[in-house]
Every structure is written in structure tokens, then in C-alpha cells.
């Protein structure tokens, strides 16, 4: 069993021999501040993942629209978008599909730490 009182005494003895600035760095911050900082950091991460997700999906649609103009021989009403892979600019469609995959994974990461109800948990696991 750890000796918390002994550890605290050691910290106090060390702090007595150092200046005030060192003592403030040895103290623990209150749990409410730590929890608030954690929630704030988690919200920032979620917001950043959401931005990555929106950017990647927008990039997918931009590439897809560009392919409609570049390869005019494909009629979007009669052909699947995956058939753009077979053409001369198939690498662009591969990049578009990769961008869509990154967007979906980033959306999953943005919602992972959010507390949700039961239906939200089921929907989150459908991502996976």
C-alpha cells in the first residue's frame, strides 16, 4: 500500500529548501480545474476532427465534380461513379475515394468522446 503521507512529507521538505516558484509547481491543481481543462481539450479535439471531416468530404465532391467535366464521355445518369477509375484519370477518383474515407473516419473521431444516449451509441458503432 502506498505511503501518501510520506510522499507528501518529502514534497514539503523539498519545497522548504526551494523557492516559492518551485513549491507552486509541486502542488496539484484542484480536480475541478483539471476536469474543466480536460473537457475543453476534448471539445477542441472534436472540433478539429469535425473540420477535417468536412474538408475531406468537400474535397471528395470537388474532385467528383471535376471528373464530370474532365471525362465528359461518362454520363453520370448511366454510369456509376466508380467507373471513373477505369478511365485515363482513374487516380483522381482513387484520391476522391480516399478523401471520402478520411472524412468518414474523422467524423467518427469527432463524435467518439461525446456522451450520447443509447441510440447514439448504436449509431456510433455502425460507423465501425
Spatial CA neighbour of 95 closest among 123, 124, 49, 59: 59
pLDDT in tens, 49-64: 889 999 999 999 999 9
**What is the reported pTM?**
0.62
The gap from C-alpha 111 to its chain's centroid, in whole angstroms, comes to 8
**How many angstroms separate the CA atoms of 51 and 45, rounded?**
10
**How many angstroms separate the CA atoms of 64 and 84, rounded?**
9
* Res 37: pLDDT: 58
Spatial CA neighbour of 89 closest among 110, 111, 68, 116: 68
pLDDT in tens, 30-39: 555 555 555 5
Maximum mean pLDDT: which of 3-12, 31-40, 85-94: 85-94
Amino acid at each position: 500500500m502506498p505511503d501518501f503521507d510520506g510522499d507528501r512529507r518529502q514534497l514539503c521538505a523539498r519545497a522548504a529548501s526551494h523557492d516559492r516558484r518551485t513549491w507552486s509547481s509541486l502542488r496539484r491543481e484542484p480536480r475541478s480545474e483539471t476536469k474543466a481543462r480536460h473537457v475543453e481539450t476534448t471539445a477542441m479535439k472534436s472540433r478539429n476532427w469535425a473540420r477535417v471531416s468536412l474538408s475531406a468530404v468537400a474535397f471528395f465532391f470537388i474532385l467528383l465534380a471535376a471528373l464530370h467535366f474532365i471525362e465528359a464521355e461518362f454520363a453520370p445518369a448511366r454510369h456509376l461513379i466508380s467507373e471513373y477509375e477505369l478511365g485515363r484519370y482513374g487516380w483522381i477518383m482513387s484520391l476522391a475515394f480516399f478523401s471520402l474515407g478520411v472524412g468518414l473516419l474523422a467524423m467518427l473521431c469527432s463524435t467518439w468522446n461525446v456522451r450520447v444516449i443509447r441510440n447514439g451509441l448504436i449509431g456510433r458503432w455502425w460507423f465501425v
